[in-house]
A and B are shown apart, each in its own frame.
Chain A
Amino acid sequence: MIMAVLGKVKEAGLPLMKLVKLRGMPILQQLHLEERLLRTSSDNWCLINDGTSSPAIVMGLSGKLSELVEAKPVLQDRISIIRRFTGGGTVVVDQNTIFVTLICNKDAVSNVQPFPRSIMSWSGLLYSEVFEGLAGFHLRENDYVFDDRKFGGNAQSITKHRWIHHTSFLWDYEVKNMSYLKLPAKAPEYRLTRSHMDFVCRMKEYVPRSEFIEKTIKAIGGQFSVKSISLESIDIPSVSEYVHTTRLLTEQEIQEACTIQT
């Protein structure tokens, strides 16, 4: 009884976090939704997308296509390339990628400054709870790693009063898909020129898929009052209220990158 009361008191003091669980949402649609919620909502949100429908390549705002992607096989295999509104590197995503996105008012997490490193370190502590007991988990140079192998990449965007922290977790991946990526010029120091196959690892070797999602929701529940809502019930304002940045690259743009690479 006392515990229940204390629980309610604690919950009453925590900011509300609206949780939307998705499965198989196309990554372009997810990124558009994220951008819209960041720009037009005043609520805190957590989106968890358990896999995306088709393989796609996602690049940060400033990424140079010809330097990051092997354009010819991408054209041949008709892989979509998306330029997102956040920073972040280039990643290949598919049905085995789990996306966790947190969109917060800066006042809701008062111990976090609206700057990249502060948000990143806060997220590292959050996921330390999720991966509690796995000694190899670290936040390392903006990536989540088990020992020195990356399994989660981060991307952020910061506005005047809000911020978004998006993570793509590699629960599993196909070797073929990784070959679409070039070795980036700006790589983290700990990568040490390793190829993608030596640099990344599979989450599935460390934690079951559903357990990871449940533990993530539980960890978020330690800092927010989590309320599940459906995608359909999101009240989406008119898209004209903001200029969205996330977009699909055209075949012509990929063709031009291919020409540069020849």
Chain B
Amino acid sequence: MKSSSYCFSDILSLQRNNNQNSREKRRCRQTQSLMALRMWASSTANALKVSSTSRPHLLHPFSFSRCLSSVLDGLKYADSHEWVKHEGSVATIGITDHAQDHLGEVVYVELPESGGTVTQKSGFGAVESVKATSDINSPISGEIVEVNKKLTETPGLVNSSPYEDGWMIKVKPSDPSELDSLMGPKEYTKFCEEEDASH
């Protein structure tokens, strides 16, 4: 599986080293999102300022070095940040790396039973992260054929492995054409950037 990801520090270093502009541009695959990311860094710094007054070293936006969330090829994505992988007669569903990153540490995953049904855009479960429960919405409709029981004991798999070990349910789709209304990886990447930039 090919993974497309980009390093935030690469883009930030572009701002610091204008004299290496051409080299950085070759390395950086998302220069067109520079303005969006600058806004994101600003809003994130503000958020950290509010919540982490005891850690002033985190206030400096240029100290961010983590990579932006990964997006995998071959999957489809919903605007409520779930992914779906359709293979044969079964589709596997989980939440995206972008979602788990924004949620923070997942401490509990509430999932339905096998044999139940899910409806596109409706909730089928929830994740709890420290102070919040967040609904998980299904990208497609169908019958639940399997549930990831590992998440009961190890909810952190959603954080450490959102696209693999952290999968949530497997569904037999009732209408595979529903997949056509979902986003591909490039579209979803753009959607996330725009969502982050506008806040």
- Which positions in A face B, CB cutoff 8 Å? 60-62, 85-89, 110-121, 124-125, 138-142, 154-160, 186, 190
Contact = CB atoms under 8 A, between A and B. Distances in A.
Interface stretch (B30-38, B104-112, B156-164, B169-177): B104-112
Contact of A142 (B107, B130, B137): B130
A120 B47 CA distance: 9
B47 A118 contact: yes
B51 A141 contact: yes
Interface stretch (B12-20, B120-128, B179-187): B120-128
Contacts of B134: 114-116, 157-158
A260 B169 CA distance: 32
Contact of A118 (B110, B137, B199): B199
Contacts, number: 95
A156 B133 contact: yes
A61 B128 contact: yes
A158 B80 CA distance: 11
Contacts of B102: 113, 115-118
Sorting the interface of chain B by its residue count into under 10, 10 to 19, 20 to 34 or 35 or more gives 20 to 34
B51 A86 contact: no
Contact of A121 (B47, B103, B135, B198): B47
Residue in B131, B134, B198 with the greatest tally of chain A CB atoms within 10 Å: B131
B104 A61 contact: no
Contacts of B126: 61
Contacts of A142: 51, 130-131
A155 B54 contact: no
Chain B interface helix/strand/loop/mixed: mixed
Given A85-B133, A156-B132, A116 B104 contact: yes
A160 B123 contact: yes
B42 to A, nearest CB: 12
Interface string B39-70: 00000001100111110000000000000000
B129 interface: yes
A120 B199 contact: no
Interface of B: 46-47, 50-54, 80, 102-104, 107-108, 110, 121, 123, 126, 128-135, 137, 195-196, 198-199
A60 B130 CA distance: 9
A159 B51 contact: no
B103 A116 contact: yes
Contacts of A62: 107-108, 128
Contact of A87 (B130, B135, B137): B130
B43 to A, nearest CB: 8
A154 B153 CA distance: 25
B108 A160 contact: no
A112 to B, nearest CB: 7
Contacts of A120: 51, 131
B164 to A, nearest CB: 22
B196 to A, nearest CB: 8
Contacts of A121: 46-47, 50-51
B182 to A, nearest CB: 15
B197 to A, nearest CB: 11
B50 A125 contact: yes
Contact of B133 (A119, A141, A157, A186): A157
B133 A113 contact: no
A93 to B, nearest CB: 16
B121 A154 contact: no
A116 B132 contact: yes
B52 to A, nearest CB: 8
A82 B115 CA distance: 30
Given A121-B47, A160-B135, A110 B198 contact: yes
Nearest to A88: B131
A125 B49 CA distance: 11
A154 B50 CA distance: 15
B132 A157 contact: yes
Contacts of B128: 60-62, 87
Contacts of A60: 128, 131, 133
